[in-house]
Amino acid sequence: RYRVPREGVSGIKEYAIRLLQRRIQFEEFWALRGVNFQVSSGEVFGVIGRNGAGKSTMLKVMARVLLPTRGRIVMQGHIAPLLELGGGFHTELTGRENIFL
């Protein structure tokens, strides 16, 4: 669960000024809600979704980089999460070509 500003700001300076002046209203944003899946031993899975959908947050919770605010995660064995944005992608190739690699 995160607190995010209701309206956008153009930069950190504007954000800080508006925060000090108490001119920023926040709302709660749940990055992960109602997520439930099972991966069997030996299986490989990927996560696809829009920006801000919670993909990285889910992997960080699975890797125990973040702790869940609510709920639980049950894991048996080890996982190898790829957390770096763009990690493993070749910028000179198309998205389709990267998938085939």
Give the Å distances, CA to CA, from 42 to 35, 45, 59, 80, 88.
21, 10, 18, 12, 21
Based on the domain organization, do 44 and 84 belong to the same domain? yes
Number of domains in the chain: 2
Based on the domain organization, do 49 and 11 belong to the same domain? no
Q: What is the mean pLDDT of residues 84-93?
A: 67
Per-residue pLDDT reduced to its tens digit, 43-62: 888 888 888 788 888 888 88
Based on the domain organization, do 2 and 51 belong to the same domain? no
Based on the domain organization, do 26 and 60 belong to the same domain? no
Q: What is the mean pLDDT of residues 65-83?
A: 78
Based on the domain organization, do 57 and 23 belong to the same domain? no
pLDDT (0 to 100) of residue 39: 85
Give the domain extent around 82. Answer: 39-101
Based on the domain organization, do 16 and 43 belong to the same domain? no
Does the pLDDT of residue 27 top 60, yes or no?
Answer: yes
pLDDT (0 to 100) of residue 87: 61
